[in-house]
Amino acid sequence: MKLARLLIISLLVALAAVAFAREGHKVQHGDAVAQKTVEHADGKHEEGLGTTLVHILEHHLVDSQHMELFGMDIHLPHFEIAGYEFALTKHRVWWLIALMLMGLLVWSAARQKTAVPTGFRNMLESMILFVRNEVVRPNLHDKTDTFMPYFMTLFTGILFSNLLGLLPWGSSATGNVNVTAGLALCTLSLMVGMGVKENGLGGFLHHFAPPGVPGWLMPLMIIIEIVSFLIRPFALTIRLFANMLAGHAVLAVLLGLIVSVVFAPPAILVAVGVFMLEIIVALIQSYIFIMLTATFMGLTMHPSH
């Protein structure tokens, strides 16, 4: 049972990493375009507000093999494994940082031996109880304990990734559609796998043909049901990606407007307000993602409920 849980968690990280793999050549192309843009701007000796905003947006939103950290420009390496080229990109690094922070939180909580939990352990236990009682159990019922490691990994990983993107030199991996698509593929795999396991292959496929539908209408209904099933992971992908991308873009634009003393005070005030809102959004989007994942899995496993 423990091995199965570890395999589920590994599947989450592996699929998210595989979703990045297609970005290697695109990132290099994006770096070349950005370099030409900078060279063009230097040639004209004109770096105005537009160039500044583009630079800020690229730093926070665009994946790259360059990582800016505390004023340093770090060129990330790429590897070739068995003839397959794998580029380590900025969003990959920040996603791994988010997972390491999650592991550090769990390790810190596990070190406490007191009867009454305090600090990180108290926060983590409260979070676990909330996810178990309000999200997983109402949808997965007797499978709750089996999938709790998966849902806690999903929740904390997305939450830390969302929050890291709010740092001045940080970047949110969940603002990359490839990451959210990888996470949604995990959900799709569990929907299909658990649907077949709980209902059998015939029972799983039977739900794509609603009972009581006239024979001449059945082909159209089957197509509609299949499309409806596949739209669920697509909605997960776009919802998380669009919300995080939009929030960080607004923050970057507001900070880019600080070009003079006149614009600085209102821009800073609005940016602080948006920043506080983004902290709330980061938590809400993490919750929504696992809530929808649990709901979709529950509908597939127990279609009659």
d(CA 179, CA 199): 30
Q: Could you tell me which of 302, 288, 299, 300 has the C-alpha nearest to residue 134?
A: 288
Ranges of beta strands (E only) in the chain are: 66-69, 72-75, 78-81, 84-87
Query: By the 8 A CB rule, do 205 and 187 touch?
Result: no
- The 3-state DSSP composition of the chain as helix, strand, coil percent (nearest 5) reads 75, 5, 20
| Beta-sheet pairing, 78-81 with 66-69 | unpaired
pLDDT in tens, the chain (305 residues): 444 554 455 445 544 544 444 444 444 444 444 444 444 444 443 444 455 555 655 655 677 776 776 667 777 777 777 777 777 788 888 888 888 888 888 888 778 777 777 777 888 888 889 999 999 999 998 889 899 989 998 999 899 988 888 887 777 888 888 889 989 999 999 999 998 998 888 888 888 887 777 888 888 888 998 999 999 999 999 988 888 888 777 777 776 666 666 667 777 787 788 888 888 888 999 999 999 999 999 988 887 65
pTM above 0.95, yes or no: no
Q: What residues have CB less than 8 Å from 128, skipping those under 6 apart?
A: 148, 152
In this structure, are residues 69 and 97 in contact, taking their beta carbons and an 8 Å threshold?
no
Q: Do 146 and 190 form a contact (C-beta atoms < 8 A)?
A: no
Task: Identify the pLDDT of residue 260.
Answer: 65
> What 3-state DSSP class applies to 84?
strand
Tell me the Ramachandran region of residue 78: left when phi exceeds 0, alpha when psi lies from -120 to 50, beta otherwise: beta
Domain tally for the chain? 1
pLDDT number for residue 40: 43
Report which DSSP code applies to 217: G
In the 8-state DSSP scheme, what is residue 76? P
Distance, in Å, from the CA atom of 9 to the CA atom of 207, rounded to the nearest integer, reads 28
CA-to-CA distance for 31 and 218, rounded, in angstroms? 50
Contact status, residue 204 vs residue 195, Cβ threshold 8 Å: yes
Supply the angle between the helices 90-111 and 144-164 in degrees, to the nearest 10. Answer: 120
Residue of 256, 245, 86, 250 whose CA lies nearest to 171: 245
- Tell me, rounded to whole angstroms, the distance of Cα 254 from its chain centroid: 24
* Predicted local distance difference test score (pLDDT) of residue 55: 60
The one-letter code for the residue type at 164 is L
8 Å CB contact between 102 and 286: no
For the chain, the straight-line distance linking the first and the last C-alpha, in angstroms and rounded, comes to 26
CA-to-CA dists, residue 302 to 140, 150, 275, angstroms: 8, 19, 40
Residue type (1 letter), 116: V
Distance CA 186, CA 233 (A): 9
pLDDT score recorded for residue 136: 93
pLDDT of residue 58: 61
What is the residue range of 186's domain?
Answer: 2-301
Task: Tell me what pLDDT residue 29 has.
Answer: 43
- Put residue 274 in one of left, alpha, beta given phi > 0 → left and psi -120 to 50 → alpha: alpha
